Each structure stands twice: as structure tokens, then as C-alpha cells.
Amino acid sequence: MIAPLLRKYSSQASALQLAYDHLPGKNSQLSPVVILHGLFGSKLNNRTIGRGINSNLGRDVYLVDLRNHGSSPQSPMHDYQSMRLDLEKFVDDHKLENPIVMGHSMGAKVAMQACLYNPKRYKMLISIENAPVNVMPNGKFVQYIDLLERQVGHQVTLKTVEERLSKLEKNELVLKFLMTMLRRDREGAIESKLPLGILREAIVKGKISEWDVKDRRYNGPSLFIRGTESAYIADEYIVPISTYFPNFELRDVKGGHWINVENSSACIEYISEFIDRKEDI
């Protein structure tokens, strides 16, 4: 069931009402699962994983669009505090009891911070391809945005845009993912579904790559999943993971940063087993 939500633009620091898809479970007594996507993504990116968890465990699953993404409202404020407060509002609005929060990449940092700032609220944490560390901004993300912004407003075909983008990004999966950010307006010109300028500023200022949480700990069950061909959860990050999340487990999945899409079956298997095993703890 897709919940309709009118897009609106806000310059306030207050929490925003997020768009979502709800996959109803067979047992409403079980903790629901809330899934958050990564940068440039949307709730659609996690539909396969969400359906797998819903089918395997019979739980309610909520696929959420973070601010400035998908069908959710847009705001010039794009940082982890704002996104965490959006998530808190979502949990409150939907009266979710002890939800399991899961995220990929940027969404994983939102999930981690939510658990650290309100540890009694969340039953479990699942982080796919991110760790509680401060890293350098990814310059390639800025290059993606700059190239896409140059296409906006022009009467060119999407195929032409994809060919131009392929000179910057060779990975076919990533290329197709980036192209989902574009569409045609009524006059046939290219337009972006996302506020590229806002996201570019957040990347350049380090708002996406930063980690500024100190002296907090989440003792609930925590699962970290990393791609074998990715450096987002490097071995040296295991120490900070254990500091913030002492009750953690680590799983390796074959693939790169977008393992939630390119190897969703392995992710579903690990996540389902972990949740089922930890449910009564």
C-alpha cells in the first residue's frame, strides 16, 4: 500500500512528515521493521529486501523516503540530526512499538544515530554499508551532481544523458541507479526528481560523511553488513563499531556498496536469521 503525500518545501528545522510504503505483516505483535535508503535513493531501492523480510518473518515493514528524496518533503537542512528527528516523528506518528531500524549507507547513519540518541525506543539496529566514523566527503558524488545539473532544462534524450554519465561511472548498476534521479517535464526537458543543489551542499560541507556523536552507546542487538568489494566498513572501523554498539555482529556479503540491490538475497537471509534469533533477547 503506497501512502500518498503532497510534496512541500520547508525551511524550518522541525521534523518533516516522511513518505512511505507499508508492507503489512501477518503478526502485528512482532516488532515492525523500518528501512531507510541511502543518498540519491528512495524507498523503491529497498523494496526487494523489504518484501523478503516481510515474507520470511511476517512482520510489518515500512519503506521510508528520507527528506529531500523520493516523495518526501524537501528542505535546505540536510544533516543527520534533521533526518533522525524526521525518523522519530515517523515512529511517533505511526505509533510503532519497539521498531527494528535498518538503513543502507546514509540511511544506516540515520539508523545508528537514532539508536544512540534513543536506545530504549529501538529493538534492533541493522546497518548496511556504513560505520560510525567520520570520513572524507566522496568527491565522485559531487561529480555526479554537477554532470546531472548540466542536463537539467535541456531537450536531450535520457539515453544521451546516460551516455554522458557513463564516461564518469562505468558500473552499470550504479549508472542505472543514478538515472532514476531524472525525468522529463511537460515540455520534454530534463528535470531532476531531487534537489541537487541542496544535496551537493550537504556533500561538500561533509554533512553526509560526518560522524559527530560522542559518549553514547546502544546495547541492543546490532547487525552490520558490508560488501566484500567495498571499503565503507573497513576492518579498522570495527573498533568504533564495538565502542558504540558492543552487542554487534558483522556479516560479509559478496558485492560492492549497493549490496542491498545487487545481492539482496544474501542480505535478506542474514537479516531474517538475525532478527528471528534476537527477537526474544
Active site residues: 105, 257
Burial of 87 (0-12, 13-18, 19+ CB in 10 A): buried
Q: In terms of Cα–Cα distance, which of 131, 139, 123 is closest to 221?
A: 123
Contact 212, 238 (CB under 8 A): no
Strand partners, 100: 33, 124
The CA distance from 87 to 36, in Å, is 9
Q: What is the dihedral of CA 255, 2, 108, 115, to 10 degrees?
A: -140
- Helix or strand holding residue 248 (H, E): strand 248-253
